[in-house]
Structure 1
Amino acid sequence: MIEFNIDRWHAWAPGIDSPDTWSRWSAAPWQPPASPDLQPDVSFLPAMQRRRLSPLARMAFAVAWPLAEDHGPMPLVYASRHGETPRNYELLCELARGEELSPTQFSLSVHNAIIGLWSIMRGDTSEMSALSAEADGLEHALLEACALLDEGAPRVLLMITEGVQPEPYQPWIDDAPFPYALALVISPGRQWRLTLDSAAGATEPSTWPHALNLVRALLGDAGMPVHSCRGRHWHWHAAP
C-alpha cells in the first residue's frame, strides 16, 4: 500500500484541454477525433524549441509545464507504454529504403528523450526517470514517485502520455484509442491510497484509457478506479 496526495493535475486530449471541457467529457465521455491537426498549445516555448518536439512530447509539455511553473525544480517520473513509436517506425522505413538516418531523429526517438528535453528546456537537473510499462504504467509511475517522496522529495511531477500509433501496429494496440496526456503533482499525504491485490478477480476492460478513468474519479464522475493487468489488480482509494 502507498499513500500520497494529488496536489494538482492537468490533462489533454484532442479538443479536451480546459477544466470545462474535461468536466463535460467526464460526465458523458466521448471518443475525440485522433486528428493530426488537433495539437496541444505549447506557445510558451520558443519556436526553435517547439520544432524539436514530437506530438507526444508536445502533449507531455502542454500538461506538465503549467504545473511546474508554480514550483522550483522537482523530480520527474515519465511513463508511456508505446513511447515514440512513430519516430521509430519512420527510422525503420528509412532503413528499409536504404536512406541515411538522421542522428537528431534517432536521439529523439529513445524512450527517455522527453525527460531529456524537459531537463534542458527547464534547466532542471533533478532526478528523472522514464518508465516503459504495460497497461498499468500509471501505477508503476506512482510507485516510483512515492519512492522519491520517501527519500525526501517534497513533491514529484508525474507524466503519462500515449499517442497515435503507426497504422501497421494498430491491430495489436487497443489501449490508446486516441492521444492523451496526464500530469500530476504528487506530495506526501493520505488523500489517496493505492493497493495491490494479486488474488482478486480481473476487472472488465474499460472503454477509456486508464489514466483518464482517474481523471473522472478526480472530477467526481466515476467511482474509484480498479485496474487489472496480468494478474496485478490495483485498487485506488480516496480519503473520505
Structure 2
Amino acid sequence: MVPPTMTPRFAVRGWSAWAGGLDTPEAWRAWSKAPVLPPAAPPVPALAEVAAMLRRRVPPLGRVALAPVYACARAIAAQPGADADTGPVPAVFCSRHGDTARLVPMLNELAAGAPLSPTAFGLSVHNAIGAIRSIDLTDRTNLLALSAGRDTVETAVFESCSLLAEGAAEVLLAYYEAPLAEPYAPFVDEPEAMYSWCWRLAVPREGEPHYALAVGDPVRDQPAMATAEQAARPLLPHGLDVLRFMLAGDAGLIHRGENTMWEWKYQGQPCPST
C-alpha cells in the first residue's frame, strides 16, 4: 500500500468518459474548456460489447459505468505497440453513492415484509458493476470496489497507485455516479448528473507527463478548508471536476474532502487523445 504520507504520482495512458451528449474524446475536450452540468437522466448507452444474456441484466447506471471502460480498452488496443503483453490489469471501480435507484425499492419491499429478488439484490451491491465486466470478459484479475464519501476519487487513486507500487503494469480506474434517489435528497451536497469515466494508470516513465496527488495537513489547511466551505455552490460534482481538470490540462486542483484538503498537480503536456 502507498502510505498516506506519500504523494503518489501516476501517468494516464488512456481515458474515456460518458455523459448525456458527450461520448467522444473531441466532445469531452470541447466540454472541458466550457463545462456545463450534463443531464441527470439521459438515454443510457446500448453497451453492445457485452454479451446479450448478460447485458439485459445490467441496470442503467451499470451501462453508463461500463461504456467508457469498454471504449477505453478499444482505444488502447488501437494504439501502436498495444499488442505488447503488459500482464494482468487490476481494476478499481468507485462511486460515492452507487445505485440508490435500485436500493430504495428493495428497502420498501423489506419494510413491507416482502421477499427480495435475489437478482435485484445481487445487482445492487457495490461491486456488482465491476463484476459484470469480469464475468463478461472471463477476467479473473483483481477487482476492487470502493466508496469513501467526498474523498472517493482520491481514495481510488491512492488504491490504484498502491497496486502499481505492488508491481501492476497498469491499473484500470473507473468512476461513475448518478443522482441520489428522492428519499436521500436532504443529503445532496453537490450538483448531480449521470456520468462516468475510465482511466488507465501507470507509473510514469522518465520525462513522461504525469499527475501527483498530495494530502493536505488538516491543521495547516484549516483556513483554506473554511474558505472552501463558504464558497459558492460548484458548477460540477467533484468526480466530474476531476475529469475536467485532467482534460483541460490545468496545473492544479484543490478539493475539500471529509477531513482534509487534497491537492492535484499536473506536470507535462496535455493528456493523450484516447
TM-score by length of 2: 0.81
Are 2:31 and 1:25 aligned?
A: yes
Alignment of 1:142-221 (within 5 A): 142-175=157-190, 177-189=192-204, 191-198=210-217, 199-200=220-221, 201-202=224-225, 203=228, 204=231, 206-220=234-248
TM-score by length of 1: 0.92
Q: 1:125 is matched with which residue?
A: 140
CA contact 2:20–2:39 (8 Å) conserved in 1:
yes
Identity of aligned residues (%): 38
Of 92, 96, 106 in structure 2, the residue corresponding to residue 81 of structure 1 is: 96
SS in 2 for 1:235: strand
State how far apart, in whole Å, the 2-side matches of 1:152 and 1:123 are.
22
Of 251, 255, 258 in structure 2, the residue corresponding to residue 227 of structure 1 is: 255
SS in 1 for 2:256: strand
State how far apart, in whole Å, the 2-side matches of 1:31 and 1:195 are.
27
The RMSD of aligned alpha carbons is: 1.9
One-letter code aligned to 1:193: A
Change beyond 3 A, Cα 1:65–1:176: farther
CA contact 2:68–2:197 (8 Å) conserved in 1:
yes
Q: 1:107 is matched with which residue?
A: 122
User: How many Å apart are 1:221 and its aligned residue?
Assistant: 6.2
Are 2:15 and 1:9 aligned?
A: yes
Q: 1:48 is matched with which residue?
A: 53
Ranges of 4+ aligned residues in structure 1 off by more than 6 Å: none
State how far apart, in whole Å, the 1-side matches of 2:135 and 2:88 are.
12
State how far apart, in whole Å, the 1-side matches of 2:163 and 2:133 are.
18
One-letter code aligned to 1:54: P
State how far apart, in whole Å, the 2-side matches of 1:211 and 1:164 are.
13
State how far apart, in whole Å, the 1-side matches of 2:174 and 2:245 are.
17
One-letter code aligned to 1:138: V
1:164-193 CA deviation, whole Å, 9 max, x = no partner? 221121231233511111111000116111
User: Structure 2: where are the runs of 5+ without partners?
Assistant: 1-6, 269-274
